[in-house]
Structure 1
Amino acid sequence: MMTGKRRKTRVSLIISTYNWPDALMLCLQSVLSQSVLPDEVIIADDGSGMSTSSVIKAFEQDFERTVKHVWQEDKGFRKSLILNKAIKEATGEYIVQIDGDVILDRNFIADHLFVAEEGCFVRGSRGMLTPEKTRQILLAKSIDIHCWSPGIRNRNNVLRSQFFARLIARKSLSSKSVRGSNLAFRKKDFELVNGYDNDLTGWGHEDEELATRFVNSGIYKKVVKLAAVQYHLHHKEASKNNEPIHADAVLKKRMECAVFCINGFQQI
């Protein structure tokens, strides 16, 4: 018989967002539907307007645990900085990080706890929704989606089996192909490498740069499939003007085996 014993690992779910309240509303609906709820939800808001605040306030009424809205003034794309600020507010020892334009499978948090491992950070994947499917979901304001729904690209990324997920998970000291939309790590490891690099402004590679320093410090990347499923809403890509600069920063950190950034978590 189940005793209802509370799990030992305290989870902080970090959700980054910027001025897409309709998508954030769906994302937060999927948080409410989780089979295992995170202990707190922290919205890392890179300067959104009042419509986003209204969505978060409505969510607070329904979510029975802690909700924090960490906001900074809109001065361009500063995702690294707002993530550092949000994680600074986190009380959980385990951080699960997503973007506010994804819909989570109901077992998303449960799966991340299932695959979590000391000495590792977890890189998940996502299924991409077509523009038409995204339009339909936004109009319906519904998170009723599953692996066989029409309009999903990368369908292999939304299949789920905990049993096989454990069998095929692989670990490596490689920081390539890491995306912050489905990422998990221990807060102590994040602090060890001084978090995100605040000097990386504009789109691109801030997550891979963090992963590079994780790997350089001996923390393995654990690639997970068939678990921690999420569906990504289609949208136009952000400006990639700074992407080459960020790519060079990642390469430099990799070549130098750097484990610490000068302007990061401790500097906010």
Structure 2
Amino acid sequence: MQTERDFEILIADDGSDSRTAAVVERFRNSCDIETHHVWHENDGFRKCEILNRAIEQANSDYLLFTDGDCIPRPDFLAVHLREAEPKRFLSGTYNNLPESFKGLITEANVRSGLAFRINWLRTNGLPFSSKCLRLVRNKTFTSVMNRLTTTRPTWNGCNVSGWKSDIEAVNGYDERMRYGGLDREIGLRMNNLGIRGKQIRFKAICLHVDHPRGYMNDEDLQRNLSIRNDTIRSKLTRTPYGIRRAA
């Protein structure tokens, strides 16, 4: 469903069962895009570990990350490639939709772009807020808004891209981290290394239908916050708990 077709897909699978493998296989057989299923056994929330394995296996010099519950607009990849710059990572976000949209988003209205139009979303129950402005498709408006926004460009796993060499330089994701801010921490290390974020939240658009998060708990959130604070305090650039571990 992307206008840009020259890419590969790596599915970083944190221990799902054979049903997911079957879906991936059907997808692989139905399209001409090279697709790799990077999987490990279910042993709790180990997203950082499987992301690091996918980074290792990626063939491209430039990597775009999103989540399996996000729906990218057809120009999503093209925007990231167009905006890429040396020693920068691109910071986007998602537009969150109520759970009631679960049965409303279809392949047809994603392909046509209807699912990303403010009027259609409002008609189907999305409350209006300033976040809806991210869906406006006007080059001048989106460029101005990306410059004016007070939101800092952080590494947001739902919508972020960067150079593989930069990601390897900080040693990827910290595998001690669980749900809650794990993506922000790798962005902090990139900042410490001089790799700055570039805001594209008004250009690279994806949707996310809200859902329960049974895997979230206060203990993990506090541990993650402590790791992030240590990264800030020590100006850490490379985690020892990432892609490459000390022997």
> Within 1, Cα distance between the matches of 2:140 and 2:6?
22
Instruction: Tell me: CA distance 1:106–1:127, structure 2 relative to 1, closer, same or farther (3 Å).
Output: same
Equivalent in the alignment of 2:203: 227
- Tell me, yes or no, if structure 1 residue 208 matches structure 2 residue 184: yes
1:244 to 215, 219, 222: 222
Structure 1 residue 177, shift from structure 2 partner: 4.8
> Within 1, Cα distance between the matches of 2:183 and 2:6?
22
Equivalent in the alignment of 1:15: none
- Tell me, yes or no, if structure 1 residue 91 matches structure 2 residue 59: yes
Secondary structure of residue in 1 paired with 2:81: helix
Equivalent in the alignment of 1:48: 16
The one-letter code matched in structure 1 to 2:10 is: I
Structure 1 residue 170, shift from structure 2 partner: 4.5
Equivalent residues of 2:153, 2:198 under 8 A apart: no
Equivalent residues of 1:98, 1:181 under 8 A apart: yes
Q: Which moved more, 1:174-183 or 1:107-116?
A: 174-183
- Tell me, yes or no, if structure 1 residue 75 matches structure 2 residue 29: no
> Within 2, Cα distance between the matches of 1:168 and 1:176?
13
Equivalent in the alignment of 1:262: 240
Secondary structure of residue in 1 paired with 2:80: helix
> Within 2, Cα distance between the matches of 1:221 and 1:156?
21
Equivalent residues of 2:154, 2:197 under 8 A apart: no
Return structure 1 stretches of 4+ with deviation > 6 angstroms.
none
> Within 1, Cα distance between the matches of 2:155 and 2:7?
25
Secondary structure of residue in 2 paired with 1:267: coil
- Tell me, yes or no, if structure 1 residue 186 matches structure 2 residue 163: yes
Equivalent in the alignment of 2:86: 118
Structure 1 residue 134, shift from structure 2 partner: 1.9
The one-letter code matched in structure 2 to 1:73 is: E
> Within 1, Cα distance between the matches of 2:28 and 2:164?
24
> Within 1, Cα distance between the matches of 2:61 and 2:13?
21
Secondary structure of residue in 1 paired with 2:188: helix
Structure 1 residue 55, shift from structure 2 partner: 1.2
Equivalent residues of 2:136, 2:142 under 8 A apart: no
> Within 2, Cα distance between the matches of 1:220 and 1:122?
9
Equivalent in the alignment of 1:25: none
Equivalent residues of 2:92, 2:159 under 8 A apart: yes
The one-letter code matched in structure 2 to 1:39 is: F
> Within 1, Cα distance between the matches of 2:233 and 2:165?
24
TM-score by length of 2: 0.86
Identity value in percent: 28
Q: What pairs with 1:169-184 in structure 2 (closer than 5 Å)?
A: 169-170=146-147, 177-184=154-161
Secondary structure of residue in 1 paired with 2:96: strand
Q: Where is the helix percentage greater, Structure 1 or Structure 2? A: 2
Q: Kindly tell me the number of residue pairs found equivalent between the two proteins.
A: 232
- Tell me, yes or no, if structure 1 residue 145 matches structure 2 residue 115: yes
> Within 1, Cα distance between the matches of 2:88 and 2:65?
15
Two-structure CA RMSD over aligned residues (Å): 2.3
Equivalent in the alignment of 1:160: 137
Equivalent residues of 1:165, 1:226 under 8 A apart: yes
The one-letter code matched in structure 2 to 1:194 is: N
Q: What pairs with 1:31-46 in structure 2 (closer than 5 Å)?
A: 33-46=1-14
Instruction: Tell me: CA distance 1:215–1:243, structure 2 relative to 1, closer, same or farther (3 Å).
Output: same
Q: Which moved more, 1:250-259 or 1:141-150?
A: 141-150
**Cα deviation code 1:191-222 (max 9, x no counterpart):** 1010101111x211111110000000000111
Secondary structure of residue in 2 paired with 1:95: strand
Q: Where is the strand percentage greater, Structure 1 or Structure 2? A: 1
Structure 1 residue 234, shift from structure 2 partner: 1.4
Indicate the structure whose relative CO is greater, using CA pairs within 8 Å and at least 6 residues apart: 2
Q: Which moved more, 1:210-219 or 1:144-153?
A: 144-153
**Runs (5+) with no aligned partner, structure 1:** 1-32
> Within 1, Cα distance between the matches of 2:134 and 2:22?
32
